[in-house]
C-alpha cells in the first residue's frame, strides 16, 4: 500500500516493537510529529525539556530494559544537541536509534536555516549513520538501523531523513520483525549493512581449550567483570564460571551487576578508585581473565606494569579491543554469554582458598570516620540501600558521587546501575533515570548526583513531574566540583581554581518550583525521614529531591594517580 514517508516510519517503528520514544519537535521533523499524532494510542512520546535529556532518557531506557531506545529531534541545533547523548551511548555500547530530519533535498549543502551535516558529525560516535534521500529506501533503512543497533556489540545508529522524504509517498510492504527474521529478509539487509557491526563471531574451540589449560596451570587466578557481561546479560554464566575456577572477581564501572556486589568472590571496583583488594589481587595474580573489559586508562592506569606477574586473557565480542590498550597472552573473540557457556562445560571445580585468603586480607570497601553530626558518602548510600527495595535501579551522573555509588551500593543484576562510564557525561543521570522508570514502571528508580551535575540536568524535573515518572534524586552537595577539586588538592597543591559552587539554586525550592517535594538533610536520621517521605510520594507518581549536605573535604578513596602503577595509592 502507498504511504507517506512519515507514516512508513511509524509503521517501521511498530514492526520493531517500539511503543515508547523520546524527543523534541522542530520545523524539519514536523511531518513525522504530525503522523505521530495519529499513532499516539500505539506509540507514546515523551517530550523532554532538552534534546540532550531525550538522548539520555532513550539510553537509560535501553540499558535498563535491554531493548533498543528511540530518540527523535529536528535538524540543526536540535540534532547537534543529541551529540553528547550519542557519544555517551557509543562509549558504553548502548543500543539507541536516533532519528533526525534535515532540510529538504534541494537545500542540502546550501547553509539553509537549521541545516547541519549531522551524519558527518555523528559518524565517529555511532555504529552507522544514514542520510535518507529517497522515500523508497526508508523502510529498509529503518529495519537495517535497528538490526545494527542491537546486533554484535550494541551501540547507537543515526538516521537523518530529508524533510521532503517524510511527505513523499512510496509503496510499503509490512514486514513484522518476527516474520522477517525467519523469512530470510533480514539476512539480505544484513549483507548490505556493515558486516563488522552485525556479525556475532563464533568462539574458536581451540581458543577455549587453551584457556581451559591455562586455568588448570594457574595457582592465583583472577577475573575482571566488564561491561560486556552486563550488555550480553551473561551474568549467570559469569557467576558460574567464577565459582568453578574459585577466583576473586574485580568489577569495572560498567561491569557493576555482572556479579552481585556482595558476592563472596567480589573484591570491588578495580583501577584508579579501585579497592585495595582488587588492585593488590591484580598485581599478584598469575592469570588474569578479563571478560568484556576495554582496559581503559581508568583500569589499566599504567599498561606496561598492569598485571605484571600474570598471563592476561581477554574475552570480548569486538576484535578491535584486543591488544588495543593492554598486550594479552591469549584472547577469545565472541559473545560473553556463549564463550562462558563453553568454558563452563569444560572447566572442573577448583579450590584456591589460600590465594583468596591473601586477596581478602585487603579491604574491599573504604572505611570512613563515621560522625553523627555530619553525613558521609558511605552513610548515605548504605541508608538508601537499607530503606529502598533490593531491586532499585540507580542512575548516576559523573564525579565523586559516581565512584562512591559503585564502591558502597553493591549492584546485583545487569541494568541496575546506569552510569556514563566511558564518556563521563555530567548531566546524564536524571534523563537516564526517567527513561529507566518508564521502562520499568514497577521498580523504584533513584538518581544520584553531585551539585555540579544536577545543575546540568535539573531542567528534566519538569519532565519527571509532568509524566508522573517518580524518580528520587539524591544530591551529594559539597558546594564544590568535587572530583576536580580532589585532583586540585592531591596533585595541584591546593590551587582550587574555579571549583567552588557556593551559589544557587536552592535545590529544595527548585523541586517545589517543578511541583515536587524536597528536603535538605544533614544527618542519617533526617535522611531516613526524607527517604520514607520520598517513597510515599512515589506511590502518588511524584518524584522527590533529597539535598544531602556533605563535607567539602570528603575524598574518593582509595585513589591511584593516572599513569602510575595500580598499587601506588595516592590516598588510602
Would you please indicate which residues are annotated as catalytic (active-site) residues?
51, 113-114, 163, 483
Neighbours of 496 (CB within 10 A): 14
Q: Where are the alpha helices (DSSP H) in 184-329?
A: 185-192, 195-198, 205-217, 227-231, 235-245, 276-284
Q: Which of 275, 267, 266, 299 is nearest to 558 (CA)?
A: 275
Question: Is the distance from CB of 239 to CB of 229 less than 8 angstroms?
Answer: no
d(CA 301, CA 307): 11
d(CA 38, CA 516): 32
d(CA 4, CA 167): 5
d(CA 184, CA 464): 42
d(CA 237, CA 225): 12
d(CA 294, CA 303): 12
Q: What are phi and psi of 400, to 5 degrees?
A: -60, -45
d(CA 470, CA 508): 16
Question: For residue 313, what is its C-alpha cell?
Answer: 586473557
Q: Where are the alpha helices (DSSP H) in 324-467?
A: 336-346, 353-359, 377-387, 400-408, 429-439, 451-457, 461-466
Question: Is the distance from CB of 146 to CB of 16 less than 8 angstroms?
Answer: yes
Strand partners, 270: none
Element (DSSP H or E) covering residue 517: strand 517-521
Contacting residues for 338 by C-beta, under 8 A, at least 6 apart:
202, 203
3-state secondary structure of 260: coil
d(CA 567, CA 572): 10
d(CA 47, CA 90): 23
d(CA 455, CA 464): 16
3-state secondary structure of 549: strand
Angle in degrees, CA 473, 477, 478, rounded to 5: 165
First to last CA, the chain: 68
d(CA 152, CA 129): 17
d(CA 125, CA 116): 16
Amino acid at each position: 500500500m502507498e504511504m507517506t514517508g512519515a507514516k512508513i516510519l511509524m509503521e517501521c517503528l511498530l514492526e520493531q516493537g517500539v511503543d515508547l520514544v523520546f524527543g523534541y519537535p522542530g520545523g524539519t521533523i514536523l511531518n513525522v510529529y504530525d503522523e505521530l499524532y495519529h499513532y499516539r494510542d500505539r506509540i507514546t512520546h515523551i517530550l523532554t525539556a532538552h534534546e540532550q535529556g531525550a538522548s539520555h532518557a532513550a539510553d537509560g531506557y535501553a540499558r535498563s530494559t535491554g531493548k533498543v531506545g528511540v530518540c527523535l529531534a529536528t535538524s540543526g541545533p536540535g540534532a547537534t544537541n543529541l551529540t553528547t547523548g550519542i557519544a555517551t551511548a557509543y562509549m558504553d555500547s548502548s543500543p539507541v536509534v536516533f532519528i533526525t530530519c534535515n532540510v529538504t533535498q534541494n537545500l542540502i549543502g546550501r547553509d539553509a536555516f537549521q541545516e547541519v551535516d549531522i551524519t558527518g558529525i555523528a559518524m565517529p560516535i555511532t555504529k552507522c549513520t544514514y542520510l535518507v534521500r529517497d522515500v523508497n529506501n526508508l523502510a529498509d533503512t529503518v529495519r537495517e538501523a535497528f538490526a545494527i543497533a542491537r546486533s554484535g556489540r550494541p551501540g547507537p545508529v543515526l538516521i537523518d531523513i530529508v524533510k521532503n522524504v517524510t511527505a513523499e509517498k512510496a509503496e510499503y510492504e509490512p514486514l513484522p520483525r518476527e516474520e522477517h527474521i525467519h523469512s530470510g529478509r533480514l539476512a539480505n539487509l544484513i549483507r548490505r549493512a556493515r558486516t563488522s557491526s552485525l556479525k556475532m563471531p563464533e568462539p574458536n574451540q581451540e581458543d577455549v581449550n587453551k584457556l581451559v589449560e591455562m586455568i588448570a596451570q594457574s595457582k592465583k587466578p583472577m577475573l575482571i567483570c566488564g561491561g560486556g557481561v552486563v550488555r550480553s546479560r551473561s551474568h549467570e554464566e559469569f557467576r558460574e564460571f567464577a565459582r568453578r575456577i574459585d577466583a576473586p572477581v574485580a568489577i569495572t564501572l560498567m561491569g557493576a551487576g555482572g556479579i552481585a556486589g556482595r558476592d563472596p568472590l567480589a573484591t570491588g571496583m578495580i583501577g584508579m578508585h579501585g579497592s585495595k583488594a582488587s588492585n593488590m589481587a591484580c598485581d599478584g595474580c598469575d592469570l588474569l581473565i578479563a571478560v568484556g573489559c576495554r582496559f581503559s586508562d581508568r583500569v589499566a592506569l599504567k599498561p606496561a606494569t598492569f598485571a605484571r606477574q600474570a598471563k592476561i586473557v581477554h574475552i570480548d565480542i569486538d576484535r578491535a579491543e584486543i591488544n588495543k590498550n593492554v598486550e594479552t597472552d591469549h584472547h577469545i573473540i565472541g559473545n560473553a554469554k556463549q564463550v562462558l557457556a563453553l568454558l563452563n562445560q569444560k572447566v572442573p571445580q577448583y579450590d584456591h582458598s589460600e590465594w583468596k585468603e591473601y586477596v581478602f586480607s585487603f579491604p574491599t570497601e573504604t572505611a570512613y570516620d563515621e560522625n553523627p553530626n555530619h553525613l558521609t558518602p558511605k552513610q548515605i548510600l548504605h541508608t538508601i540501600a537499607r530503606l529502598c527495595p533490593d531491586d532499585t535501579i540507580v542512575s548516576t551522573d559523573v564525579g565523586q558521587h559516581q565512584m562512591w555509588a559503585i564502591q558502597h551500593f553493591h549492584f546485583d543484576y545487569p541494568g541496575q546501575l546506569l552510569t556514563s562510564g566511558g564518556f563521563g557525561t555530567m548531566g546524564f543521570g536524571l534523563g537516564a533515570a526517567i527513561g529507566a522508570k518508564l521502562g520499568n514502571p514497577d521498580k523504584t528508580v533513584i538518581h544520584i548526583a553531585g551539585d555540579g551535575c544536577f545543575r546540568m540536568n535539573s531542567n528534566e524535573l519538569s519532565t519527571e513531574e509532568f509524566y508522573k515518572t517518580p524518580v528520587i534524586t539524591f544530591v551529594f552537595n559539597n558546594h564544590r566540583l568535587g572530583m576536580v577539586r580532589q585532583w586540585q588538592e592531591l596533585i595541584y597543591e591546593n590551587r582550587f581554581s574555579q571549583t567552588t559552587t557556593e551559589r544557587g539554586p536552592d535545590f529544595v525550592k527548585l523541586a517545589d518550583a517543578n511541583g515536587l517535594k524536597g528536603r535538605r538533610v544533614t544527618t542519617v536520621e533526617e535522611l531516613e525521614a526524607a527517604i520514607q517521605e520520598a517513597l510515599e510520594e512515589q506511590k502518588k507518581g511524584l518524584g522527590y529531591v533529597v539535598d544531602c549536605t556533605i563535607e567539602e573535604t570528603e575524598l574518593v578513596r582509595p585513589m591511584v594517580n593516572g599513569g602510575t602503577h595500580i598499587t601506588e595509592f595516592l590516598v588510602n
